[in-house]
Structure 1
Amino acid sequence: MSNGFQPLAGMRVLELGTMIAAPFATHILTQLGAEVIKIEPPAGDTTRSLVRGGPSGTIIAYSHSKKAICLDLTTEQGREVFRRLVATSRVVIHNLAPTAARKLGVTADDCMAVNPNLVHVHIKGYTHGPQAEGLMTNPIAEAATGAMDDHRVDGRPTRFGPSYHDQFAGTYAVIRVLAALMDPAADQAARRIEVGLYETGLHLAARDLAGMQLKTQLLGRLEKEGGGEFSMPGYGAYRTADDRWVYLLVLTDAHWARLTRALSMPEDGAPEFAKLRDRKKARETVETAVRRAVEGLAFAEVEARLDAAGLGFHEVMPLERVLDAPQARAAGKLREVGFRGLQFEVPEFAPDPAGAADPGLPPPEIGEHTEALLAELGYAPDEAAALLSSGAAKAYQSGDFAWAPVRQKA
């Protein structure tokens, strides 16, 4: 964390995470100063092998500044190392399936038997209820909570691009951890935290669910307005003459008046389009008018006119240009991360205007800190060697999860 702001400095957090939800939660905690130890099985976190057999961007973005130990928790020796780690820690966060958590001995009961003062967080598919043992992934959460029904490509319900439900679940986990740490009277029940991907999705959909119920009760029938643009004509993405996309924020009648004036649209001042309710009735006509106005101008001209009119808008940025924006490059917004001889710029959780970012640790290789942590936990060299030779623990070996070479086209 930058600027010396490390409220969780000195606090050890154990992560048994795969994919995104738990690693994202612990990523935030590292940015708040916590020491995070990533515990992985010999097969590694799934994201270690997603790109040509090697680590994906998830490892680079969300596991920098962590330490890594590799343990086989199906062995008693591996579980004993884990118990020693638990005894030295304040928080354990995992997103294992319920059956796997019990099999590997990482449940709240298992961990609190070793460390009664622990905060234990299980990010799982569902919390209490008839599906408490069920499995869930990010796109299944989108499907189950209504989000996917409103996100269609060519009429087919489709998952979002980023795994927002995973990331929100991780963020909710952090909030619950901080709340438990702030309460000196928190008993074990309060420190046994479960965050469900399904329940996270329900909460995220609360506004839409309440809005649907409101309209149903007011109108006496079910009425849903599809589309992420809330069915407001002129609110959405439009292509410019030079094949760039601009996203317009046209929420109010005043916005509509400014838009039509700024783009010199024939509809400027037309009374039949002045009110939102009328524009909704003539949605196709209004959408066509906005589309024609935007596609008749180059992006720079659209930008200048909308800026002058004081309207909300932004170019729809392709990923390869996002970090080129001056706002993204302001002091303290990006962290320089080196990994395997490559250099990355990774956005910070809490940017520091002073720009004094602590470089932290690079993303760890699997088992990179296994030997150092075994020594710290009190294992003599011969005991550590026995753990490594038995396979109960594993240290990083050059070539583990290497990216496959890129073949040059002939």
Structure 2
Amino acid sequence: MSNSKPLAGRRIIELGTMVAAPFATHILANLGAEVIKIEPPSGDTTRSLVRGGPSGTIIAYSHGKKGVCLDLTTAEGKDVFLKLVASADVVIHNLAPAASRKLGVTAADCRAVNPEIIHCHIKGYAHGPQADDLATNPVAEAATGVMDDHRIDGRPSRLGPSYHDQFAGTFAVIRIMAAMMNPAATEADRTIEIGLYETGLHLAARDLAGVQLKTQLLGRPEKEAGGEFAMPGYGSYLTSDGRWVYLLTLTDAHWAKLTKALDMPEAGMEAFAKLRDRKKARDTVEAAVRAGVDKFTFAEIEQRLGAAGLGFAEVMPLERVLDRPQARQPGKLRELSFRGLEFEVPEFPGQHEVEPGSPPPELGEHTVEVLGALGYKDDEVAALLDKGAVRGFNPEEFTWAPVRDKGPKPT
């Protein structure tokens, strides 16, 4: 890791599971920090999500970290944790509030051994009447309006990717960096709570302000439609060879270029030149765009829209995303070997070169090494291992179940 990175020399202790806290420490690691990922004997939940073994979350967001396994329900395991806290700059976790108190990892617990520690708790809800309630990414979506707008066959549904978890992790990094940069940071500044619910509120701020605006102007609540619903010609359309293309038709100038590029003279006439007129004739305009796109293969669409200077993209299935030339430019992908398998993991944005790094740690892979660095002697480490207060790497745990050959598919 380059010493020129802004967080070189900083130690971050992560008690993370699933996405939010591990995503935050993933960012901090990319900024040069040493991240020690502490897991219980049962491991991070994402260690056993795919055929009994690690999921993509571990591979994508825990590479470059050190793995330590502690049983914080034991006095000895808790003692090791507090020694780590005393050596660290930041503790970040996303344990449930009751669990954090039971295990002794609250801000007060950590500050007792390190008064200058920055303590960040990513939780369901920040201060308020629901501060102890549990929430996950989809619960935050449900509670802040996102899910009501995303329906599958009429049923409110989660978006899919855990964006609220990832944004909460990003907001945590911003707050942590602000505390680090502030020489006059108070204890309150160094005690950070990031709620998934509050993250969702912030992400929905535009829509929440919009519905208030419409209520006051119109005398009734009315949602501001998203771009692809408000602007005919803005959305996904099927080409003649069965590929979806997403058109970025934002302005009247874009519309004029689109109708020319797709040979749509009937849709480019004066009656549809302005967005307000296209909205009034939404069904007619949408039918014209569908017909215009359906005249061409994707390759032809790509050539025509590119020549016209219009924004567009093919709607890519995941298995083809990394095949694009843009994705394969230097600095975009990190090659990782993990358990004999090879991965290309998208790199932290803004990189021009990918520095060599380590794969994600196995559960307890660095326990003995980290204990030695804390000053534990060999016999003391052996005693902790024997009591189960700490654990080292066991190659028999969290292995992927073999894929059985189901034979040829019926024709």
Q: TM-score range by the shorter chain?
A: over 0.9
Amino acid at match of 2:192: I
Partner of 2:405: 408
Provide the rounded CA distance (Å) in 2 between the counterparts of 1:149 and 1:250. Answer: 25
CA contact (8 A) 1:367 1:394 kept: yes
Provide the rounded CA distance (Å) in 2 between the counterparts of 1:319 and 1:165. Answer: 20
Range moving further from structure 2, 187-196 or 320-329: 320-329
**Residues 216/96 of structure 1: CA separation in 2 closer, same or farther (3 Å cut):** same
**Per-residue deviation, residues 260-315 of structure 1 (Å, max 9, x unmatched):** 11111143432221211121122122111111111121001111111111111111
CA contact (8 A) 1:150 1:227 kept: no
CA contact (8 A) 2:261 2:305 kept: yes
CA contact (8 A) 1:123 1:195 kept: yes
- Please show how residues 249-260 of structure 1 align to structure 2 within 5 Å: 249-260=248-259
CA contact (8 A) 2:172 2:194 kept: yes
CA contact (8 A) 1:257 1:268 kept: no
Partner of 1:389: 386
**Aligned pair 1:369/2:366, yes or no?**
yes
**Residues 262/350 of structure 1: CA separation in 2 closer, same or farther (3 Å cut):** closer
Deviation at 1:219, TM superposition (A): 1.6
CA contact (8 A) 1:169 1:195 kept: yes
CA contact (8 A) 2:164 2:199 kept: yes
**Aligned pair 1:197/2:171, yes or no?**
no
CA contact (8 A) 1:72 1:392 kept: yes
CA contact (8 A) 2:207 2:224 kept: no
Partner of 1:93: 92
Provide the rounded CA distance (Å) in 1 between the counterparts of 2:63 and 2:103. Answer: 26
Provide the rounded CA distance (Å) in 2 between the counterparts of 1:251 and 1:13. Answer: 44
CA contact (8 A) 1:261 1:268 kept: no
- Please show how residues 276-287 of structure 1 align to structure 2 within 5 Å: 276-287=275-286
Partner of 1:14: 13
CA contact (8 A) 1:25 1:173 kept: yes
Provide the rounded CA distance (Å) in 2 between the counterparts of 1:269 and 1:391. Answer: 73
Range moving further from structure 2, 301-310 or 34-43: 301-310
CA contact (8 A) 2:384 2:390 kept: yes
Provide the rounded CA distance (Å) in 2 between the counterparts of 1:29 and 1:19. Answer: 17
SS in 2 for 1:19: coil
Amino acid at match of 1:362: P
Partner of 2:153: 154
**Aligned pair 1:103/2:109, yes or no?**
no
SS in 1 for 2:188: helix
CA contact (8 A) 1:15 1:36 kept: yes
Amino acid at match of 1:222: P
Provide the rounded CA distance (Å) in 1 between the counterparts of 2:227 and 2:130. Answer: 29
**Aligned pair 1:45/2:44, yes or no?**
yes
Provide the rounded CA distance (Å) in 2 between the counterparts of 1:155 and 1:229. Answer: 18
**Per-residue deviation, residues 157-190 of structure 1 (Å, max 9, x unmatched):** 1111210000000000000000000001001111
CA contact (8 A) 2:267 2:285 kept: no
Amino acid at match of 1:256: W
Provide the rounded CA distance (Å) in 2 between the counterparts of 1:269 and 1:375. Answer: 73
User: Identical aligned pairs, as a percentage?
Assistant: 72
Amino acid at match of 1:364: P
Q: TM-score, normalised by structure 1?
A: 0.97
Provide the rounded CA distance (Å) in 1 between the counterparts of 2:394 and 2:326. Answer: 40
Unaligned runs of 5+ in 2: none
**Aligned pair 1:34/2:33, yes or no?**
yes
Deviation at 1:105, TM superposition (A): 0.4
Provide the rounded CA distance (Å) in 1 between the counterparts of 2:141 and 2:289. Answer: 31
**Residues 350/262 of structure 1: CA separation in 2 closer, same or farther (3 Å cut):** closer
**Aligned pair 1:346/2:340, yes or no?**
no
CA contact (8 A) 1:150 1:226 kept: no
Deviation at 1:350, TM superposition (A): 3.5
**Residues 159/5 of structure 1: CA separation in 2 closer, same or farther (3 Å cut):** farther
Provide the rounded CA distance (Å) in 2 between the counterparts of 1:278 and 1:152. Answer: 28
Deviation at 1:375, TM superposition (A): 1.3
**Per-residue deviation, residues 359-396 of structure 1 (Å, max 9, x unmatched):** 22211000000111111112121211111111111111
**Per-residue deviation, residues 13-57 of structure 1 (Å, max 9, x unmatched):** 000000000000000000000000000000100000000000001
- Please show how residues 180-219 of structure 1 align to structure 2 within 5 Å: 180-219=179-218
Deviation at 1:130, TM superposition (A): 0.8
Provide the rounded CA distance (Å) in 2 between the counterparts of 1:228 and 1:124. Answer: 32
**Per-residue deviation, residues 324-376 of structure 1 (Å, max 9, x unmatched):** 111111111111111001111111113433x3x22222110000001111111
**Per-residue deviation, residues 164-223 of structure 1 (Å, max 9, x unmatched):** 000000000000000000001001111000000000000000011111111221122222
Provide the rounded CA distance (Å) in 2 between the counterparts of 1:78 and 1:119. Answer: 21
Unaligned runs of 5+ in 1: none
Partner of 2:173: 174
Provide the rounded CA distance (Å) in 1 between the counterparts of 2:301 and 2:73. Answer: 61
Deviation at 1:401, TM superposition (A): 0.3
**Aligned pair 1:398/2:395, yes or no?**
yes
CA contact (8 A) 1:151 1:228 kept: no
Deviation at 1:230, TM superposition (A): 4.2
CA contact (8 A) 2:248 2:312 kept: yes
Provide the rounded CA distance (Å) in 1 between the counterparts of 2:243 and 2:128. Answer: 48
SS in 2 for 1:53: coil
Provide the rounded CA distance (Å) in 1 between the counterparts of 2:226 and 2:244. Answer: 18
Partner of 2:142: 143
